[in-house]
């Protein structure tokens, strides 16, 4: 069974020109990627997230800057700081996530296991707690 969430460590190929990381379906990304989006122009005073997904897995990568992610499976809550481009945060189904304390102008890349579907978002915390039981 897949974990509810976990840190993924990506290997960078580094030389005097800089570093490169390749992300591949079912290799260092634990699902087939169907969608990629990115978040940018962030500001610390504006948190994001506050929802769960009934049927979506994602990997969040802070390409530039930092932010704090709060993950909650309905029983335990854990705070994770994302601040490196060689770290990914895998988040499975039915995990409530909040994202806060973005650095100014941070850039987050997100790989998703499915196309965008607003119907599979749970944006109400009480409803999430019922589903998470
Ligand atoms: C998540 C965290 C990490 C689309 O039209 N297509 C898309 O693929 C996405 C992701 C969003 N949208 C629309 C839906 C909203 O009208 O873009 C608007 C902003 O989305 P939202 O408020 O959900 O953004 P975040 O940053 O709170 O959450 C996003 C993802 O939606 C979510 O799946 O896990 O990033």
What is the C-alpha to C-alpha distance for residues 21 and 8, in angstroms, rounded to an integer? 12
Question: Does residue 53 have an active-site annotation?
Answer: no
**Which has more confidence, 2 or 55?**
55
Tell me the pLDDT tens digit for each residue of 86-117.
999 999 999 999 999 999 999 999 999 999 99
pLDDT at 31: 97
pLDDT range class, residue 20, cuts 50, 70, 90:
very high
What is the C-alpha to C-alpha distance for residues 6 and 26, in angstroms, rounded to an integer? 15
Closest C-alpha residue for ligand 1 atom 9: 116
The correct CATH number of 2-13+21-132 out of 2.30.40.10, 3.40.720.10, 2.60.120.10, 3.40.640.10 is: 2.60.120.10
Q: How many CB atoms lie within 10 A of CB 120?
A: 13
| Ligand 1 within 6 A of CB of 40 | no
User: Max alpha carbon distance in the chain (Å)?
Assistant: 52
Using CA atoms, how far residue 8 sits from 38, 60, 119, in Å, is 18, 10, 28
Radius of gyration of the chain (CA): 15
pLDDT at 3: 83
Domain ranges for the chain = 2-13+21-132
Note the pTM of the prediction, 2 decimals: 0.97
């Amino acid at each position: 069974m897949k974990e509810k969430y976990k840190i993924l460590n990506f290997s960078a190929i580094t030389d005097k020109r800089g570093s490169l990381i390749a992300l591949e379906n079912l290799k260092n990304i634990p699902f087939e990627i169907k969608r990629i989006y990115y978040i940018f122009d962030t500001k610390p005073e504006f948190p994001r997230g506050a929802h769960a997904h009934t049927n979506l897995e994602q990997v969040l990568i802070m390409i530039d800057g930092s932010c704090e992610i709060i993950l909650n499976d309905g029983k335990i809550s854990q705070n994770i700081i994302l601040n490196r481009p060689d770290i990914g945060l895998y988040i499975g189904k039915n995990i409530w996530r909040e994202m806060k304390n973005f650095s100014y102008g941070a850039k987050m890349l997100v790989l998703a296991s499915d196309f965008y579907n607003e119907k599979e978002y749970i944006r109400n915390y009480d409803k999430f707690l019922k589903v998470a039981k």
